[in-house]
Amino acid sequence: MTHAESNDNRVRFYRTQRGWSQAELAIKAGISRTAVTAIEGRRLVPSVAAALGLAAALSVTVEELFGQRDAAIAEPVWAWQGAASRQFWRADIGERSVRYPASSLPMLTPLPDDASLGLAAKPDETLVIACCDPAAGLLASQFASATGMRLLVLPLSSRQALEMLREGTVHMAGLHLETRDTPDRNAHVVREFLGIDHQLVRIARWQEGIALAPTAKLRSLRAVTNARLTWVGREAGSGARQCMDRLLGERAAPRRLARNHRGVTEAVRSGWADAGVCVQLASAEAGLDFLSVQEEAYDLCFPTSLADDRRIKAFLGVVRSTAYRKLLGELPGYDNSETGSVRGADMK
């Protein structure tokens, strides 16, 4: 291998897409981890053998890794299969331009990109997060006000958000699978699902529990679990489903499912269900009674390869700001004492 000042390569992009660490790629390609680090950092030009090994390990061509950008890579992609819409939002993620159909309904919905009307925002100034935080709209507003950039929030469960991050179609994914009884659970899930080359930023600790209509007049968890109630559930892999499984034990999961926390409270408020699991904020917004079951740690994770992205840096600055932390701390059930702390997925 020979040194060079620069070297156009997309090794890091393809590696993080697959959720591999540098060490894992090194083993698969038959080279050292130091070499992978140097190649990704454009401090080393790979030999022919190393280039072939990397391409074979990543299931791409050498040209896709080190040559001119392939047309398939440059072509915009939709965030999910089968999506096609005349109105959409755009964001640059790694080497790709990703489109999000306007029908995806982010929690805070700016106007879709429309160059003909002068409304098109710059894709490289758009940050995309997948999460189920009902207060994410507040964060999006703070981000826009403080940075002049745009934050799109896709309302998805913890597992769905991690899947999108693994596919490289969002910058950050939210998860709240960690409780006082299961410390480090968020980082463990990220390591298992995405690999160690990721970081987690703590947004809050919040209360997850049962939303009930005031007319139910149930005041304890025992009374709730003993009562004959119609429950609205959440999909497998969500933090709320984890909480419900812990609460109801061996009982069959509810057949009626809501897509998010506010969907749970709307089902209870409208009389479609008697009870459901959600975060305290969503229950308070709907005017429902709330019984706390557990405190959870809510984190957003992102690939370490994006740590120097100016949108991520700006986002961390907003999350750590006094203004945002104050607003967050005033929300029902949110604890902001750890807000803004960052740790690697490989740290315990």
Q: If you write DSSP's letter for every residue of 121-137 in order, what string do you get?
A: PPGGGEEEEEE--TTHH
> What is the H or E stretch that residue 98 is in?
strand 96-101
The residue-averaged pLDDT of 51-60 equals: 87
* Torsion sign (Cα): 224, 225, 226, 232: positive
The most confident of the ranges 69-83, 120-134, 152-166 is 152-166
Q: What pLDDT does 282 receive? A: 96
Residues whose CB falls within 8 Å of the CB of residue 198, separated by 6 or more in sequence, listed in order: 190, 191, 301, 302, 303, 304, 344, 345
pLDDT score of 184: 92
pLDDT at 99: 86
Residue 7's pLDDT is what? 42
> What is the number of residues in the chain?
348
Answer whether 0.85 is exceeded by the pTM.
no
In this predicted model, which residue has the larger pLDDT, 110 or 66? 66
pLDDT at residue number 188: 95
Asked whether 211 and 289 are in contact (CB, 8 A), the reply is: yes
Confidence of residue 261 (pLDDT cuts 50, 70, 90): very high
What average pLDDT does range 163-188 have in this prediction?
94
Q: Across the chain, what does the average pLDDT equal?
A: 86
d(CA 84, CA 100): 9
> 287 pLDDT exceeds 60?
yes
At residue 109, the pLDDT reads 65
The yes or no reply on domain 73-189+305-325 and CATH 3.40.190 is yes
CATH 3.40.190 region(s) of the chain?
73-189+305-325
Question: Which is higher by pLDDT, 334 or 44?
Answer: 334
* Phi and psi based region of residue 28 (left: phi greater than 0; alpha: psi -120 to 50; beta: remaining): alpha
CA distance 222 to 82: 45
Angle between helices 310-319 and 136-147 (to 10 degrees): 110
Architecture of domain 2-70: Orthogonal Bundle (1.10)
Q: Where in the chain is the domain with CATH 1.10.260.40?
A: 2-70
Percent of the chain with pLDDT over 90: 55
Rounded Cα distance between 138 and 133, Å, is 10
Residue given tokens 């074979």 in the structure block: 56
Least confident range from 66-70, 156-160, 240-244: namely 66-70
Provide the residue type at 24 as one letter.
Answer: E
pLDDT recorded at residue 246: 87
Q: How confident is the model at residue 2 (pLDDT cuts 50, 70, 90)?
A: very low
User: What are 53's two structure tokens?
Assistant: 């090994």
pLDDT band at 73 (very low <50, low <70, confident <90, very high): very low
Say how far apart CA 40 and CA 13 lie, in whole Å: 9
Question: What per-residue confidence (pLDDT) applies to 84?
Answer: 54
pLDDT in tens, 59-70: 888 877 876 544
In one letter, which amino acid is 41? G
Q: Residue 215 to residues 59, 268, 288: CA-CA distances in angstroms?
A: 59, 11, 9
For 339, the token pair is: 């807000």
